[in-house]
Structure 1
Amino acid sequence: MPFTLDTLTTIAPYAFAMALVGLMESLMTAKLVDEITDTRSSKTRESIGQGIANIVTGFFGGVGGCAMIGQTMINVRVSGARTRFSTFLAGSFLMVLCIVFGPVVSDIPIGALVAIMVMVSFATFDWHSIAPKTLKRMPAWELTVMAITVAVVVATHNLAIGVVVGSITAMVVFANRVAHLAQVTAVTDPAHATVVHRVTGELFFASSNDLVGQFDCTTDPDKVVIDLSAAHIWDASSVAALDAIETKYTQRGKTVQITGLNGPSAYFHGKLSGELTPSR
């Protein structure tokens, strides 16, 4: 096949899907192994190593690969393996089977291999995760994400699409839940005609609207302090929301002071404040 733009256009969707599925499976496998063996692996190193290995393999006409949950669980949980030497031996035995006993292996019926894979799946599946007692205790939004992911995989017969749709759904649901966690508590000091608004929570695009709505610029005294010591600014939308709040107060002749910014938030606010809304 010639190395042209048309070839890359044809290959790219399949390559991306395989890379995504392989990376997800490798990360999940590493996480499970860490939990079982009570160790901590470098997910970044594993991912980089897998990517380099697959690139080099392609130049020699080989087939890309990734960590396998089923085989790993059998290796770690059933056989009791704890070091990388076990995977080296597994690869060595597989090479011997292919090179030396290739004709014998090719005579094994596909049905027998399917039965083996079914038993491996049965033995490695975490049945407790779908037990009725477990499902009843899980949040409804997590069950929804799981159901959508499974439904998309079954409907499209494409694990990559299911993973992408499930991840996007989880991010949207998470953003919606976190958006309502930003709270503003007001403490008024009548003697000094000052009110301190203490903001608690994560400030980002989804929580910006709620943040603006929690300030009442008509009834607050002339001096307003916005304490962000218990909050963190994550994006430009939050800075724009703070600018909008400050603008509403200044239009009514009131002064606003923003305090308590941590290092990253102060840098972000100082860099963008006044640049995202019309000049006052």
Structure 2
Amino acid sequence: MRMVTRVREGEGEGPSSPPVYDSRVTTAQPTPATVLAALKSPKLLTVEILGGLVTAFALIPESLSFAIVAGLDPKMGLYAAFTMACVTALLGGRPGMVSGAAGSIALVIFPVARDHGVEFLVATVILGGILQVIMGALGVAKLMRFIPRSVMTGFVDALAILIFTAQLDNLIDVPWAVYPLVIVGLLVIVGFPKITTRIPAPLASILLITLAVVVFAIDVPTVGDQGELPESFPGFGIPDVPFTLDTLSIIAPYALALALVGLMESLLTAKLVDDLTDTHSDKTRETFGQGIANIVTGFVGGMGGCAMIGQTMINVKQAGARTRISSFLAGAFLIILSVTLSDIVGKIPMAALVAVMIVVAVTTFDWNSVRTLRVMPLSETCVLVVTVIATVITDNLAVGVILGVLTAMVAFSRRVAHLTHVEATGEGTYRVEGQLFFASSNDLVYQFDYAGDPDQVSIDFSATTVWDSSTVAALQGVREQYARRGKTVTFTGLDATSQGYIDRLEGKL
């Protein structure tokens, strides 16, 4: 089991509390509190370097594939993975998290490339990064606190399912030799840590299977089959588009979508890594880091990106890396290997990477969420299921999370509304209990005996709070019902918030 040290911030500033042990991961090594601690320890530094290397291997084929999905030159995916990984490692708020060219971003930007060309796409990426920086300044990251646990659990489970289903293309209609190679890869990843933990099991699996394929000349799909690797490092350039309002009107909607989808996936991934490592990260800093990374990516001709959840799990959960070193090296190794060792990297069998991703999917899935479905409240179960189904059907984590949050809001509103009730405490006196808002105040006007009450009626609101204009309108309706019968009603016990709403809105709705 690996020792995990709780720290206050992403890099562990300040004293840490006593270590706890986490059996969910396979690599046994203590968690370094800082980059400096890793640099001072050859053992920890080795873990960070090897973590970056194995993550780079996993980044290459997906970066190529996602660029192809977006209808782009495959090199644009690799350039994006390089800059996103390196820049967010330096400027982001979640050490150990890996960013790159993501599938969700590919889906968002595909229409721009198809309808307007690569130059407009690059401009879209730059504008998307600028919007993310603005969102960071506005504190958008703080909205993460409104995502309930059931949505987070659904997000994790859907993520695991998507990681697994993404491998099916490499398992269907392929040479029969792929299947035993995948099985061998799985066995190595599971069994290798029992022999030694000095080398990450995924890296050992990739090296072993690649060696077997090369030595025995096994004809199976390889990384080189996914697309052409670049022959040079990326250069800086300004997109060749007219700087006009027409251009802005074309790219702005896609840039906003890129910014929102990228931030949502990145912040959710950061929260997931927080939970896995029992540490806290700076979400606002991560928002700025993602924005600056996309700006840089656009200027070097990349397709844009966000946090790569599968590769992050490889880096953090499988390899045991914890600091910015591994994240930075993942990007650095990717571009160095792609440019200088393209012939060798191109020979890596896809079966080796499929085995790694299958293990990531299985270990990422929250199996406890299935076991606890019977005892969970029905509303939370519905939220989890909606999040998972919506994500899997749309193949978009952002859509799933948004629908999950909306479902949770509706479920919460219904639950709280049912806790609101009106009690008659005497002749012409009432007491309202519970929270009054749009969902609970609709029936408020029907809770009083307008005909039978005396001329003077008192309603006590000391056990409730008025939260919106819908409630003020309902209370106005109560006054009007009594007024039609020549009676007066007095509201007592109103707190400052409730009285403020009534003073501002009564008679104006």
TM-score using structure 2 length: 0.46
In structure 2, the CA distance between the partners of 1:166 and 1:104, relative to structure 1 (3 Å rule), is: same
Contact 1:232 1:265 in 2 (8 A): yes
Is 1:213 aligned to residue 446 of structure 2? yes
Contact 1:249 1:256 in 2 (8 A): yes
In 1: Cα distance, 2:338 partner to 2:361 partner? 23
Q: Equivalents in 2 of 1:45, 1:226: separation in Å?
A: 49
Instruction: State the identity as a percent.
Output: 59
Which residue does 1:111 correspond to in 2?
351
Q: Does 1:177 align with 2:415?
A: yes
Question: C-alpha displacement at 1:247, in angstroms?
Answer: 1.6
Go from structure 1 to structure 2 and tell me whether the alpha carbon gap of 1:42 and 1:261 turns closer, same or farther (over 3 Å shift). Answer: farther
Kindly provide the amino acid, as one letter, of the partner of residue 223 in structure 1.
Q
Q: Which AA in structure 2 matches 1:199?
A: V
Q: SS of 2:491's equivalent? A: strand
Distance 1:10 1:178, change over 3 A: farther
1:263 aligns with 2:473: no
Say if 2:389 is the partner of 1:151: yes
Counterparts of 2:404 and 2:261, CA distance in 1: 13
**Are 2:264 and 1:24 equivalent residues in the alignment?**
yes
User: Which whole-Å CA distance do the structure 1 matches of 2:437 and 2:312 have between them?
Assistant: 40
State the superposition RMSD in angstroms: 3.1
- How much has 1:119 moved relative to structure 2? 1.8
**SS of residue paired to 1:169:** helix
Partner of residue 142 from structure 1, selected from 377, 380, 384: 380
Whole-Å Cα distance in 2 between the matches of residues 259 and 49 of structure 1? 51
Tell me the SS of whatever aligns to 2:422: strand
How far off its partner does 1:14 sit? 5.5
Alignment-mate amino acid for residue 130 of structure 1 = V
2:264/2:398 contact within 8 Å kept: no
Letter in 1 for 2:385: A
1:129 Cα deviation from its structure 2 partner: 1.4
CA–CA separation in structure 2 for the residues paired with 1:166 and 1:6: 36
**Which one-letter code corresponds to 1:254 in the other structure?**
K
Give 1:187 shift. 1.8
Aligned length: 269
Residue 362 (structure 2) pairs with residue 122 (structure 1): yes
Unmatched tracts of structure 2, length 5 or more: 1-119, 121-240
CA 108–15 in structure 1, closer or farther in 2 if over 3 Å, else same: farther
Partner of 1:187: 425
* Shift, 1:12, TM fit: 6.1
Describe the SS at the equivalent of 1:208: coil
Q: 1:235 to 1:58 in 2, by over 3 A?
A: farther
Gapped runs of 5+ residues in structure 1?
A: none
CA drift of 1:169 comes to 3.2
Q: What residue number does 2:478 align with? A: 245
CA gap of 1:20–1:243, structure 2 versus 1, over 3 A, is same
Residue range with higher mean Cα deviation, 27-36 or 235-244: 27-36
Distance 1:186 1:52, change over 3 A: farther
Structure 2 residue matching 1:121: 3-state secondary structure: helix
- Cα deviation code 1:88-112 (max 9, x no counterpart): 3433433433344333223323333
Moved more, 222-231 or 2-11: 2-11
Determine if the alignment matches structure 1 residue 93 to structure 2 residue 329.
no
Report the Cα offset of residue 239 of structure 1: 1.0
Residue deviations 1:228-268, cap 9 Å, x none?
33323222111111111122123323332223333333322
Q: For the structure 1 residues 166 and 36, does the alpha-carbon distance in structure 2 shift closer, same or farther, using more than 3 Å as the test?
A: closer
> Could you tell me how far 1:17 is from its partner in structure 2?
5.0
**In 2 relative to 1, CA 100–208 (structure 1 residues): closer, same or farther, beyond 3 Å?**
same
Tell me the residue number matched to 1:65: 305
Please give the TM-score of this superposition, normalised by the length of structure 1.
0.78
Residue 7 to residue 214, structure 1, CA distance change in 2 (3 Å): same
Task: Report which stretch shifted further, 17-26 or 175-184.
Answer: 17-26
For 2:462 and 2:376, the matched residues in 1 are separated by 33
CA gap 1:200/1:57 in 2 versus in 1, 3 angstroms: farther
Pair 152,29 (structure 1): closer, same or farther in 2 beyond 3 Å: closer
AA paired with 2:409? Answer: M
Q: 1:18·1:160 contact (CA, 8 Å) conserved in 2?
A: no
Contact 1:74 1:124 in 2 (8 A): no
CA shift digits 1:122-160 (9 cap, x unpaired): 2222221123xx111122233333334443444444444
| Larger displacement relative to structure 2 (234-243 or 173-182) | 173-182
Contact kept? 1:200, 1:231, Cα under 8 Å? yes
Whose RCO is larger (CA < 8 A, sep 6+)?
Answer: 2
Task: Specify the SS of the correspondent of 1:253.
Answer: coil
